[in-house]
Structure 1
């Protein structure tokens, strides 16, 4: 019997070193799988000798240099995956012409050059083509639409230019189309006409066209197309006109365009929508009250438009962290926390012919004072109350957060916390102490974070929190009520932040209860932990992608995640946060900015590139989030004594995948649906391992994390 090596699988074995040229001697080899190791150096040209090779996969390594042109001779090659390496230069022309190829993934490298003008003509078998996050330039060939079997086409984050082929609809099996972050498209009225043909793509689920050069009005047929999608992103283009009525998506972003007109009433019919971003357009008119009925939406962004009138206050609009209307100067009303002016009501006059404005009490009193009614009882009471209020805040300066936040004095905070007593102390850290308190003027329970100004860096921490939270509003961020920068009763400098109190305590106290709390055991089941993980991911999606200037939190860990009474998670403690002041074109932003960051964060959660001169990046948060995810579902801290030298929590989990997820799961977790339970755990652990990859370019994007965790939850819930 002739025994030859036909398959070699070395994936996920933590192998280091260069690939030997001797691999080319295994001429009967059909499968070569080297993924997720630390192979460095160049790809051996001798691989071109493997004439029987069908599968070549070497993603997630540190391979560099050019792709050998000898690989173009592999006429039987069906699967080629070289993503997440450091490969550079032009892709050999012959590699693009292998007609047997079904799967081609070269994403996250430094490859450049243009695609052959006839690419796609001989690719009827091509299923997946992914070259995102490279430096390809030139046009997208019209011939690509001949690859009629394409299911996934992802060319996002390159330098491709020119119009998009008009017959994209010929790709009838397409499920994901991502051409984002390229200067593709045209600014004239025909720029989006290629979308017409996409109505033929009846199973299309993801359409990402953001940060392109598309212009003109959004065609009406997009509404019909969108009902099939789970994610539609058209943000940061030059799209104008009015918003269609029936854009029903799980994730819909139209921000940063030139949309005008009013918000369509029909948007209230989007029952299943989870995120809707219409910010930074030219939308005018009133906010439809019917939007209150969007029950499942997690965030609605209407900021920086020209909206006017009353903000609804029920349903979605009852929770000010679930939406944003910042930057609309003519809005009024809404819930109190928005700090908007009261709306003036039009009332019929006594004759019933004219309309007059209902005036606030102060205006009435002012008028009566002018006419000599000094003893009018309501005015006297109002004036007395006003003077009392002034005397109580005489030590108060303007809120460091801005005029939209209420002023508060040291005296009020002193009284609210029973003199900052030990009995009210919730937590104590390096830069601050947190006290539970109750504000007299609204009977609201709050958490007062008093800054320890004696410690070096505390003022910077205070400033960072103020900068990060001044314009940040999201249901999964700890809600800041106000801040105080003043003097105490002895004339000493005093700084404090006032937050909404979180009755559920920190995630830390649930995962690792202290000895004093062991008599009151806490436990979170799988779905509760998964919901918390999704909440935190949602907060990071907002901070990284939907703030006016993206924010890096830089200290994601269980003690900075607080739970309310319903176990909804809120990300807090922005003392280490930084805004990304981008020196590059915003449309090219992918989480990489121009500033370097010093070593901050907490041991075990901080990304390895921090403090090594790496550019400021949202991917440091993704790393910390990945560690958090692994900790939540294994129950082990990353600083556990079992993790030392090169053996980390990530390695501990990675070694158990894909078949031993149950073995490493937190013993407190259990389920009756064992098969689905294990599948769900394996999916979660895979996400955590990928997010905590050592090299930033190997980590997942947080928006993808958010979507995949939701998918894992849905999979598990089906077993019930």
Structure 2
């Protein structure tokens, strides 16, 4: 009886104690809820305050057999408050899962009281502060998951010292941890996954992690001894450096090794193939090495990794031939990345053995040869990138077997022949890019029948000919259609209206004719239309004015006539419009895009009138000007160029000043080179003599290598021009005159010097006389703005703002892009520098001085470099001339890119490449490179700050961001090795993006009112 009574009392006491414990846990959870829900009032609604339902109805709560809380799982509930220290009052808690919420603040130290805790998952929140050191008390912890927060500081040494040996998973990735890794991490012998990516971990790593010392930030040589069960090691995107030790191959359980985007160097361990379980190997973004004689052994070894799925080797210092063993890698390989490497050779002929391949990325290398026919065996391939290589030959018809292909990209190679019709079998294809090759023949209609194409169809800059098939209307889902720079002809089919989601239509630089299709107005999503440099005639369709999303419309250099549709001024989204060099007539609208229009957008349309005052067109009430009259232009003073800088100028205006002509019969035997002079209305020596007051010093604008530039005022009309008089006593001056005539005869672009007329005559002494006449540019050369001779302090009226410099840079790049890529044949400028950049009344830029330019031959025009020596010696000016010219290399477009890079650096640092500070190994490129990107404001031109508040932290930050972009572009253009420089077409795209981004950032805060500036200059 007593025994029974004792049993009943014990049971009652146990239930009483359990009830008290439940109430204790409930109180802790309610305190947690109060802190965690933040603004999420609906979260944890089932936690009603009654301890009775704690273990049965409270969301995410699990209890053990004694009624105590053992698990709290609340992922993805939108919790937005803080983590209450009361969580430490759950003594039996084994699992705490709060991942994917918005919890912020610090991780409370009270977690160290949870002695039974096995899993702590706080991933994907916004926790900040340092890692609590007292987590060492959690002796049963198996998984510590803290990735994707805002944690900072170092990993405490005592934490790694005391973490339990049973810890299997440690995720600290995507935080802001810094400093070295504690040596005691190697004591975690049960560790299976160590994920530390995207932090600031660095060395020196403590030497007592293993038998051998660690190099700064390197992997320990005896990591296999300390972490024998490790299956996944991810150190990507940190500051680790040193070599990858060969002993890493002893981690035989390793399945994933991610070392991307660090500073590892040296050779890749040659026996990585011992990692038989390896499926993910990412070594990209380091300074690892391999060459022709050593370093590629690891690739042969990897053929033993029969489960390998991902291999990323991009952005390293690998050179030499691509090993043939690539084709012997595992058939399970799904992704292979070989980007921006110095490798050469050819694609292995057995590449088709990799039947599991889904992504093949072979981009920006020196790989040559043909695409092997066996590529057609890669039937699982979804993405094929072959951009910017030296591949040649025909595109194999076996490509048509890749029916799962989504992206096929192979621009900027040397492919020839026709586009295979078998591409029409690729019914999953969304993007096709064969631009910048040598493809010829007509475009197969099968390409336009690929209704899956939704992103891009880019066949631009080839030699494709024939009409545009009416099947183009089948591309109902296409976003971008680019056929620029071919030889396509005929009319644009009206079926193009069926491309209802088209946003970008680029048909420029072809031979399309007839009228611009009226149905373009039915494509309401169009944002960019470029139809320049064709043979379109007739009127501009009124329907274009109904495309309400249109942002960029270019229809220059055609044969269009009739008035400008007034509906275009109603397009509020339209930001760029170029109607130049047509035969448009009538009144220019004044609203919308036309309210801020500059003359280049309508230049070359001599029968236009009216418009806003800045266009300086005749009023529409006046009769159209006859050919014997000149437009009377009022200009302000020109900034004189410094001695030795050749300054000659050209206007934005396209109307020709016709002076009295002296007829001259051309002899049949006259050399063909002189025929270029007959392209222009001729002017007499006497008229130039009178207009310059006898070529007096008071009209001197500047002197150059081959001649002198004078200001010339027409006696009859009062029109101001600039005359470049050649010194024919100098060797090469006649050749310079003819070269400039020939170059200017070929070019028509708003950002290039435009010739008015020429003079080839006899002077008063009976000597031969040659001169070129250009229209006057009121703001002189870029050189005198960057390096003024006056000692006056910089003010807004005498210096260039950041946005002005960006606009000027865009104009320069556009001019160079036109010379290189839109002239047939291409033209290399050879002397790009600030004194050859002239500024118009609205401060837009014009590239001039084509006196030593080189017109490339048909074969050389598509070759960046060739081995023949230049017949003219080093071409260009000291400080701007490409280094390869000094080594005997031929003139190339990449030589101009080098000069452009130096010019960009000069424009935004204010330092000339010939400054005295640059000597020995220090030049302008190295000067900028050393400061890039952290000290970019230290090297910026101080006069930039005359246009903004230096004390405004936001402005300084935005200026810094912009300078990093544009100076970074200048550095990439001015690299020593030509093959490392960007082609100017890519530079143009990037420069426009930088300028547009700057406009968005500054929202007008740094913009200069050009009309106000002109008035201020006039007042001077």
Please tell me the TM-score bracket, short chain as reference.
0.7 to 0.9
Residue 985 of structure 2: which of 703, 715, 718 is its match? 703
Residue 297 of structure 2: which of 46, 49, 66 is its match? 46
Residue 804 of structure 2: which of 528, 550, 555 is its match? 528
Residue of structure 2 equivalent to 1:277: 532
What is the 5 A alignment of 1:320-339?
none
Q: 2: distance between equivalents of 1:118 and 1:152?
A: 16
Q: Which moved more, 1:531-540 or 1:392-401?
A: 392-401
Residue of structure 1 equivalent to 2:414: 157
Matched, 1:561 2:561: no
Residue of structure 2 equivalent to 1:582: 858
Residue of structure 1 equivalent to 2:424: 166
Residue of structure 2 equivalent to 1:121: 379
Q: 2: distance between equivalents of 1:194 and 1:71?
A: 30
Residue 412 of structure 1: which of 678, 687, 691 is its match? 687
Residue 877 of structure 2: which of 602, 606, 613 is its match? 602
Whether the 8 Å contact between 2:352 and 2:378 is mirrored in structure 1 is no
Q: 1: distance between equivalents of 2:712 and 2:791?
A: 22
Q: 1: distance between equivalents of 2:404 and 2:388?
A: 16
What is the 5 A alignment of 1:188-587?
191-198=444-451, 200-202=452-454, 204-205=455-456, 207-211=458-462, 213=464, 215-219=466-470, 221-222=472-473, 228-229=479-480, 232-237=482-487, 240-244=490-494, 252-256=506-510, 259-264=512-517, 273=528, 275-279=530-534, 285-286=537-538, 288=540, 297=553, 300-302=556-558, 311-312=584-585, 401-515=676-790, 522-583=798-859
Whether the 8 Å contact between 2:448 and 2:474 is mirrored in structure 1 is no
Whether the 8 Å contact between 1:321 and 1:473 is mirrored in structure 2 is no
Q: CA deviation at 1:484?
A: 1.0
Q: CA deviation at 1:446?
A: 1.2
Q: CA deviation at 1:479?
A: 1.9
Q: 1: distance between equivalents of 2:289 and 2:694?
A: 57
Structure 1 pair 92/8, CA: closer, same or farther in 2 (3 Å)?
farther
Q: 2: distance between equivalents of 1:535 and 1:290?
A: 30
Q: CA deviation at 1:96?
A: 7.5
Q: 2: distance between equivalents of 1:27 and 1:636?
A: 55
Q: CA deviation at 1:564?
A: 0.8
Q: 1: distance between equivalents of 2:700 and 2:444?
A: 59
Structure 2 unaligned blocks of 5 or more: 1-185, 187-221, 225-243, 245-256, 562-580, 610-625, 629-657, 667-673, 949-953, 1004-1020
Matched, 1:56 2:308: no
Q: 2: distance between equivalents of 1:114 and 1:221?
A: 28
Q: CA deviation at 1:97?
A: 2.4
Residue 631 of structure 1: which of 878, 897, 906 is its match? 906
Q: CA deviation at 1:114?
A: 2.4
Whether the 8 Å contact between 1:560 and 1:573 is mirrored in structure 2 is yes
Q: CA deviation at 1:555?
A: 0.5
Q: 1: distance between equivalents of 2:902 and 2:289?
A: 20
What whole-Å deviation, never above 9, does each CA across 1:254-303 have from its counterpart, x for those lacking one?
Answer: 5345x443343566999854743343x6x6x5354869999955672338
Q: Which moved more, 1:656-665 or 1:455-464?
A: 656-665
Give the match's secondary structure for 2:943. Answer: coil
Give the match's secondary structure for 1:301. Answer: coil
Q: CA deviation at 1:573?
A: 0.9
Structure 1 pair 212/436, CA: closer, same or farther in 2 (3 Å)?
closer
Structure 1 pair 238/518, CA: closer, same or farther in 2 (3 Å)?
same
Structure 1 unaligned blocks of 5 or more: 326-330, 336-359, 363-388
What whole-Å deviation, never above 9, does each CA across 1:465-495 have from its counterpart, x for those lacking one?
Answer: 1111023111101221111111222222221
RMSD between superposed Cα atoms in Å: 4.5
Structure 1 pair 288/76, CA: closer, same or farther in 2 (3 Å)?
closer
Give the match's secondary structure for 2:800. Answer: coil
What whole-Å deviation, never above 9, does each CA across 1:596-651 have from its counterpart, x for those lacking one?
Answer: 53311011211122254434422211111111112222222223344334443223
Instruction: Decide which structure has the larger Cα Rg and report it.
Output: 2
Give the match's secondary structure for 2:556. Answer: strand
Q: 2: distance between equivalents of 1:539 and 1:565?
A: 18
Structure 1 pair 361/498, CA: closer, same or farther in 2 (3 Å)?
closer
What whole-Å deviation, never above 9, does each CA across 1:88-146 have from its counterpart, x for those lacking one?
Answer: 2333634882746646133341422324343542234x485536442254415445754
Q: CA deviation at 1:689?
A: 2.0
Matched, 1:139 2:415: no
Q: CA deviation at 1:519?
A: 7.2
Q: CA deviation at 1:560?
A: 0.6
Q: 2: distance between equivalents of 1:613 and 1:681?
A: 34
Give the match's secondary structure for 2:814. Answer: helix
Q: 1: distance between equivalents of 2:912 and 2:353?
A: 46
Q: 1: distance between equivalents of 2:883 and 2:759?
A: 36
Structure 1 pair 638/168, CA: closer, same or farther in 2 (3 Å)?
farther
Residue of structure 2 equivalent to 1:341: none
Higher relative contact order (CA 8 A, sep 6+): 1
Residue of structure 2 equivalent to 1:715: 997
Q: 2: distance between equivalents of 1:38 and 1:418?
A: 67
What whole-Å deviation, never above 9, does each CA across 1:8-61 have from its counterpart, x for those lacking one?
Answer: 679899x9xxx75766569789443467899864673312236688431246x6
Whether the 8 Å contact between 2:356 and 2:378 is mirrored in structure 1 is no
Whether the 8 Å contact between 1:401 and 1:483 is mirrored in structure 2 is no
Give the TM-score of the pair, scaled to structure 2. 0.55
What whole-Å deviation, never above 9, does each CA across 1:416-474 have from its counterpart, x for those lacking one?
Answer: 22222222211112211111222234432211111122222221211111111023111
Structure 1 pair 38/465, CA: closer, same or farther in 2 (3 Å)?
farther
Q: 2: distance between equivalents of 1:12 and 1:559?
A: 42
Residue of structure 2 equivalent to 1:644: 919
Structure 1 pair 222/635, CA: closer, same or farther in 2 (3 Å)?
farther
What whole-Å deviation, never above 9, does each CA across 1:158-186 have from its counterpart, x for those lacking one?
Answer: 246532511445134x4x623552437x6
Structure 1 pair 660/332, CA: closer, same or farther in 2 (3 Å)?
closer
Whether the 8 Å contact between 1:687 and 1:705 is mirrored in structure 2 is yes
Structure 1 pair 302/549, CA: closer, same or farther in 2 (3 Å)?
farther
Whether the 8 Å contact between 1:477 and 1:570 is mirrored in structure 2 is yes
What whole-Å deviation, never above 9, does each CA across 1:345-372 have from its counterpart, x for those lacking one?
Answer: xxxxxxxxxxxxxxx999xxxxxxxxxx
Residue 344 of structure 2: which of 63, 66, 87 is its match? 87
Whether the 8 Å contact between 1:292 and 1:312 is mirrored in structure 2 is no
Q: 1: distance between equivalents of 2:927 and 2:718?
A: 48
